Each structure stands twice: as C-alpha cells, then as structure tokens.
Amino acid sequence: MFEARVQVFKRMPFVSFISYARVNKTRYVEKFVRELTQQIVDLTQYDPSDITFFDTSSIDTGQDWERILGDALRNSKVIICLCTPHYLNSKFCGKELQVFMLRRQSWLQRPENASRKAGIVFPVLWEHSLTGLPSALSKFNFTDDDFPKKYAENGLNALAQVSRERDNFRIVIRKLAERIRDAVNETQLPEWPALPPFDQIPSLFHTDATALSYQYAVAFLHHQGPQWRPFAGPPVSDLLDVVAAQTNRLCREIPANADFSTQLLQSQQQREAVVILTDADTLDDPGIASLLSQLDADLKSNCALFVLPGAAGFDAAAMEWARAKLPRIAAANGPNNWGGIRSQASLVTEIVRTFENLASSLIRNDPTGKFEDQAVRADALAAGRELDVAPNVTGPGGSK
C-alpha cells in the first residue's frame, strides 16, 4: 500500500529551491516564481522543469511530500529565501535553510574551495521590514547598486502589486537570475546524505544564540503540549506566529522536556524573554509539577509564569492553591499572572505586553558595551561621541 503511493523523484537536481512561509503564498509569489524561472531559462541551458522547486507546483497530490521535499533540499543548487516576518519566525523555513548551510559548509571545507565564495543563498526581501535579516542570512546581500532603490525601500511584494513598478519588478528578477546563474557556475554543492525526519532538523533561525538575544520564547507546560487549546481557541502553538507578527521579534517554543531547566538557563544567558504557560487543571500532573517545582526553586529574571483558569473557569481557591505550590514565584515581584486572563484575546494581549516589559528590563539591566581601542576612544570623546552604549536591538533574528 505504501509503495504504491510513493512516486519516484526526478534524478535531475533543481537549480533553485524556493523557501517561503505558506501564510505568505499569494498570486504575486506565484508570479515571481514563474518569471524568475523564465529568466533563468533564458540565461542558461537548463530545461524549464529543472529550474525551480516550488512545493505547491512540484509536489503532486498523493505523493510522499516529505521525501520529495527532502530530495529537493539535498540536491538543489541554490536556495531562494522569500524573507517576511512570518518566514523568519518559521521553524520549518529555518530547517530548510539549515540543510543548505550544512551543504555549503561541507563544500567550503574542501581544500580546493577554501578561497571561494559559495554564494548559494539568495535572500529576497519580499515584505519590507525595518529589522534587517538574521545573522544566518545577513552575510548574503539581498540588494546592491544594480537593484532599484524602491526594492530595498518597499520589498518585492510591493513592486509586484503596482503596475507602474513593473519595470523595477523585472529588473530585480533579471539581476537575481544573473546572480543565480553565476552562483551555479561557481559552486557545485555536494548532494547531502539522506535527511533525518524534519522534526529532528534544527531551525537555523531558532538555534543561533546571538540571534536569540532580546527575542521571545514560550513554553507550554500542559499535557497536550503545543496542541493545547485554552479558552477553546486555536492551538497555543499559533501564539508563536501571532506574537512574531505583532512585535516583529522572533518567537520560538522551548520544549517542556528533561532539559527544561538547562534551556531556561541558556535563555537567561542569551537575554531571551520567556513566558511559561500552564493552567490550574495541569498542576496535579506529575511531569508538569516537577518542571514547575524546578522553576520555583531557581526563578529566572527573564521568565514570567501564566497560570490560566482550568476548564471550569476561574477558581480563586485553585489559584491560591497554585500560589502555595509555587511560593517563590508567588512572592516574586515579577510579571506573573495568576488566573487574570479570561479569554483568548486577552491572552495574546497580556503575552505581548509581558514580553515587551521583560525585554525592556533585560536591556535596561544589561551592561553597556565597552570600546577598548584607547586611541580611537580618545579621538571619539574629543569629537563629542560616546562609545559606551546600551545594546542595539533588532527584530526577528536580530542581535546586539
């Protein structure tokens, strides 16, 4: 039965792999893929069917999508990243980029390639953002003097939607196609071995400690984990994208597993704000109770605990009982919440507000950076410029 539904994946590798967040898929994205494909065809000898892997058109109904997607990641020559706030918060997109970066690293480690560039990652600024790209992508320029200024100012999506910007849209695609052609001629990435299951591949956007500085994380201490639906709303995992969209910060999940305490310590060290969610009905769960006990014993200043009402609604006695079980957290002067959230809408509002307060506190209490070149320091101070400054915080994937 299984063998009958698996179709053989084409052996010819694709030139480019289109990596994008599904929530951003529109007819303008499809237009971009069509026109980029045609431009690459015009510049190379490749067959049109070998140019772009775009999952909505490259995987047929009934095919084994994970196998086909994995083969495209292992074999494609370059990756094109359609950068939006949703993209930079997507674990799945971060996993796709991780595979390419590992292939790139493997190629550069060969002695004959030591001085070569391996510019096989192409960030495309799809939606305008003031926050810049994460460190994993910032080394690959999305624009230069050959690209229209309006592209850097507004993003390619904006150019695609305005008829008078048609020429600028085409210029961006043409220049991108030329760079892809040059990259394919310059770099021959090795085919990667068989990939592990996707849930075992780390996301490049969510594992870089520098990129996580002053960003956000949520832990779901509930027996249903990310599928928990408080207030009969959507799964709590949806909060990650909602928070990222509202704050323009990276928001990841910290798994509630045996390494929970270690992960919280790492979050504290990298100045990451953390909101921990549980509810009154879950406090008796032995596994959750153990994690909460660890949390209470070693309270972190970058964390806030939200105890939501149980299925029967708010119960003052249950909240007092919760406070008694977690005395250090209850006594702390922190942004914790004991049953004060009564709806899905207020949950989102309070999480966002708490993240912003935690991040502000972390930045305020962080030591200023010191500039150590004394000659340059003296010249700067003589000119009236201050070199000991507080951290500079950017958005998704941003760093100090």
pLDDT category, 69, cuts 50, 70, 90?
confident
Give, in degrees to the nearest 5, the angle at Cα 243 between 239 and 244.
115
Question: What per-residue string of b and e applies to 203-222 under the rule 16 or more CB within 10 Å gives b?
Answer: bbbbebeebbbbbbbbbbbb
Identify residue 328 by its one-letter amino acid code.
Answer: R
Q: Is 302 exposed, middle or buried (0-12, 13-18, 19+ CB in 10 A)?
A: buried
CA distance 125 to 88: 11
Residue 374 clears pLDDT 60, i.e. is over it: no
Q: Of 2-11, 183-192, 279-288, 323-332, where does mean pLDDT reach its minimum?
A: 2-11
Rounded alpha-carbon distances, angstroms, from residue 247 to 72, 320, 349: 33, 32, 11
Q: Could you please report the per-residue DSSP string of 42-98? A: HHSS--GGGTEE-HHHHS-TTS-HHHHHHHHHHH-SEEEEEE-HHHHH-HHHHHHHH
Residue 362 clears pLDDT 90, i.e. is over it: no
Q: Is 41 exposed, middle or buried (0-12, 13-18, 19+ CB in 10 A)?
A: middle
DSSP structure class, residue 313: B
Contact residues for 231 (Cβ-Cβ < 8 A; gap 6+): 308, 342, 343, 344, 347
Structure-token match 């029967």, residue found: 312
Here the tokens at position 180 are: 């892809």
Q: What is the pLDDT of residue 91?
A: 83
Helix (H) or strand (E) run with residue 278 in it: strand 273-279
Give the mean pLDDT of the chain.
82
Q: Of 155-169, 217-231, 281-295, 369-383, where does mean pLDDT reach its minimum?
A: 369-383
Q: What is the pLDDT of residue 175?
A: 96
Neighbour count for residue 270 (Cβ, 10 Å): 20
Whole-prediction pTM: 0.62
Q: What is the pLDDT of residue 373?
A: 45
Q: What is the pLDDT of residue 197?
A: 77
**Mean pLDDT, residues 2-9:** 31
β-partners of residue 304 are 275
pLDDT category, 4, cuts 50, 70, 90?
very low
Give, in degrees to the nearest 5, the angle at Cα 41 between 22 and 75.
55
Q: What is the pLDDT of residue 211?
A: 61
Largest distance between two CA atoms of the chain? 78
Q: Could you please report the per-residue DSSP string of 215-274? A: -EEEEE-STTGGG--GGG-S-TTHHHHHHHHHH-S-EEE---STTHHHHHHHHHHTT-EE
**Mean pLDDT, residues 144-148:** 92
In 3-state terms, what secondary structure has residue 276? strand
Higher pLDDT, residue 133 or 71: 71
The 121-125 sheet, strands edge to edge: 52-53, 16-19, 78-83, 121-125
**Mean pLDDT, residues 136-158:** 89
Q: Could you please report the per-residue DSSP string of 4-16? A: HHPPPPPSSPPSE
Q: Of 200-204, 210-214, 246-250, 274-278, where does mean pLDDT reach its minimum?
A: 210-214
pLDDT category, 109, cuts 50, 70, 90?
confident
Higher pLDDT, residue 286 or 333: 286
Residue 70 clears pLDDT 80, i.e. is over it: yes
Summarize pLDDT for 208-265 with one digit per residue, the tens: 656 667 889 999 999 999 899 999 989 998 888 788 777 767 788 898 988 899 999 9
Contact residues for 379 (Cβ-Cβ < 8 A; gap 6+): none
CA-closest candidate to residue 393, choices 372, 371, 370, 362: 362
Domains (range + CATH), the chain? 2-200 (3.40.50), 209-365 (3.40.50)
Give the CA radius of gyration of the chain: 24
Here the tokens at position 305 are: 């605990």
Do 292 and 278 meet the contact criterion of CB atoms below 8 Å apart? Answer: yes
| Residue 120 falls in which region: left (phi positive, over 0), alpha (psi -120 to 50) or beta | alpha
**Mean pLDDT, residues 113-135:** 81
State the alpha helices, DSSP H only, in 231-389.
238-247, 260-269, 286-297, 316-325, 327-331, 344-365, 374-382
State the alpha helices, DSSP H only, in 76-165.
85-89, 91-108, 135-138, 149-154, 156-161
pLDDT category, 56, cuts 50, 70, 90?
low
Q: What is the pLDDT of residue 367?
A: 61
